[in-house]
Amino acid sequence: MLTHVLIMDYWRGACIAYPRGGQEDLDEGCPKASAVGGPATDSVKRMTEARQARETDPSDHGAPAAPEPDGKDWTWVLDARCPECGFQASEVDPGTIGRTVRELLPRWHAVLSRPAAGVRSDPLVWSPLEYGCHVRDVFTIFADRAELMLQQQAPSFANWDQDETALTERYWSQEPAAVAAQLSAAGQRAADTFDSVGQDQWQRTGLRSNGSRFTVETLGQYFLHDIVHHLHDVRG
């Protein structure tokens, strides 16, 4: 396991000693599609177009080394403080999730504005740009999942393969300014989605592909840890 500097600061960190970007490993896998089967989104369109291009030309286009997949189930963060970023998911008031996401967006913009945003500090650790691409897609996936839980009774989420998405979308080759704009739009949508949850809807449930059960509340807490943890990864 590659190590990271441990910063026990709630707001100045994003916690995961994981080189790719999915402290939860979301579904112990990564996005093959919209992860919920909802309406098409810009992220899903990008994934589809990138996959089609890769199928037409299967060369790696200079792809960097792929970090070893993290098979851990990160749902434990719902019960214990993350030792890397200091985030305590269980202490998050669900009504503040949307506001907190908006407060974190400028920090991600600052990360993606770095001159060396696309440079890896280690061959097997994602660059800030790659983390930014991942967080952009996390915003979309979790907004989709929350919306599905609000619309359906105990839905099951389609698997999201993070590693496949990083390859098919070629995270390493994307334009930081474009990613920053996309991340902002996706983050605003996620914030709006959690802001729209009524007091009687927080306990609605949904199931991840590995059987993990979430309520809208715990999904939001888990999601927020992911965003904060990755800021820790990039020292944002």
- pLDDT of 21 reads 38
Q: Specify if 213 maps to a domain.
A: yes
Q: Specify if 2 maps to a domain.
A: no
Distances (CA, A) of 89 to 17, 35, 85, 139, 219: 17, 22, 11, 17, 10
**Which has the closest alpha carbon to 48: 65, 33, 59?**
33
Give me 40's structure tokens.
Answer: 């098409």
The amino acid present at 59, given as its one-letter code, is: S
- pTM of the prediction? 0.75
Q: Specify if 24 maps to a domain.
A: no
The 3-state DSSP composition of the chain as helix, strand, coil percent (nearest 5) reads 50, 5, 45
- pLDDT of 26 reads 44
Q: Specify if 151 maps to a domain.
A: yes
Q: Specify if 51 maps to a domain.
A: yes
Q: Specify if 10 maps to a domain.
A: no
Q: What is the pLDDT of residues 16-62, one digit of tens each?
A: 233 333 333 444 333 222 333 333 345 445 544 544 444 444 445 56
- pLDDT of 236 reads 82
Q: What pLDDT tens digit does each residue of the chain (236 aa) get?
A: 333 322 233 333 333 233 333 333 444 333 222 333 333 345 445 544 544 444 444 445 568 887 776 666 778 889 999 999 999 999 999 999 999 999 999 999 999 999 999 999 999 999 999 999 999 999 999 999 999 999 999 999 988 888 889 999 999 999 999 999 999 999 999 999 999 999 999 999 999 988 889 999 999 999 999 999 999 999 98
Residue indicated by tokens 């915003």: 139
Q: CATH number, domain at 154?
A: 1.20.120.450
Domain that holds residue 37: 30-233
**Which has the closest alpha carbon to 197: 215, 210, 172, 173?**
215
- pLDDT of 66 reads 75
User: Using CA atoms, how far apart are residues 82 and 105, in angstroms rounded to an integer?
Assistant: 21
User: How many separate domains does the chain show?
Assistant: 1
Q: Specify if 128 maps to a domain.
A: yes
Q: Specify if 17 maps to a domain.
A: no
